[in-house]
Amino acid sequence: MKTNRILISLVITALLLGGCAARSSTNYENQQDGYMGSAGAPVEAPMPAMENDLSYEESKNTSSGWAAAAESTQMIMMSANLSIAVDDPSVTLTDVQKLARDMGGFTVSSNLYKTQTLNGSEVFEAQVTIRVPAQRLDEAMEKIKAMTGDAKKFTLNENVSGQDVTKEYTDLQSRLRNLEEADAKLSEFYENAANTEEALSIYTQKMQVTEQIEVIKGQIKYYDESVSTSSISIQIVSKQSIATLTVAGWKPSGVAQDALEALVKFGKGLVNFLIWLGLYILPIVLVIGLPIFFLVRWLMRRSKARKQTAMQGWKKGIEGEGLPPIPTEKK
């Protein structure tokens, strides 16, 4: 019994560690652009075993995972950041969300809030993150910029980046294949278990392997969805908030505008400080400071009264003994 248990552990360990490392390294290196033959000519990479593909497809119920590995395509997660100015951010926010739905994507998050311009007027601003099919990322970006009315003028910031996760994705596929092989072996050992204790031990190991399989499938699904759809984070501001500050019909520019904007910000900061001073700091000072002030004042008066009383008693004592009074200083 103990020998069988040791044998099972050795087989599972060999499948999970030795096979996983070998396949992970081999699969990634062989998926670059093709294998090199003995004469240095590239040849096509071999297709993964069909039974493994079918096992994975049945459990994952999608065609993107193994197709990417079989065709040796790169797995790139694309994302973009965009900042635009529009007439009405609240309307544009709705339009962006509708655009994502029409393209087969969805909204990840959105936020609409009010802010103040330098002139003191309230305007809306919005932040929204959407996901669209990866192959339509450029199209979505152009349509969002077109919502400004003048993409060249009112596109404030644009950034597109990508992350290559081909190696991580390939490693996960290799680990999944080895775990599925280990799971099949454990099922075979379980059916041939000699007794209940041995069957329970094998079942415990099988549950651990099954849990790892589910975790890896979830990671693969995340990569599939992240590669098949691209993320676009958009900040939508009002055109009023970026308009040139106007003072009595005069529109300063350059250094003068910067100085005037700094002055306005300083004025706002000063007003904010005075508000805090009046509504927050002064009440605290009054609540804490006034009792302390009156207490100190009372103590000083009490000390002074005691000194005066002591002085008067001392004077009476001297006069009672017939001594001349203490001369007082002439003013």
Q: What is the DSSP code string of 173-231?
A: HHHHHHHHHHHHHHHHHHHT-SSHHHHHHHHHHHHHHHHHHHHHHHHHHHHHHHHHEEE
Q: Which residues of the chain does CATH 3.30.70 include?
A: 76-164+230-242
> Does residue 64 carry a pLDDT above 70?
no
Domain formed by 76-164+230-242, architecture: 2-Layer Sandwich (3.30)
- Top pLDDT among 28 and 162 is at 162
When pLDDT is averaged across residues 221-229 and rounded to a whole number, the result is 91
Q: Is 267 exposed, middle or buried (0-12, 13-18, 19+ CB in 10 A)?
A: exposed
When pLDDT is averaged across residues 147-172 and rounded to a whole number, the result is 91
- Top pLDDT among 56 and 119 is at 119
* Most confidently modeled range among 31-40, 205-214, 310-319: 205-214
To the question of pTM greater than 0.85 for the whole model, the response is: no
Q: What is the pLDDT of residue 248?
A: 46
When pLDDT is averaged across residues 135-139 and rounded to a whole number, the result is 93
Q: What is the pLDDT of residue 29?
A: 41
145 pLDDT tier (thresholds 50, 70, 90): very high
Q: What is the pLDDT of residue 258?
A: 66
Q: What is the pLDDT of residue 321?
A: 56
Q: What is the pLDDT of residue 61?
A: 45
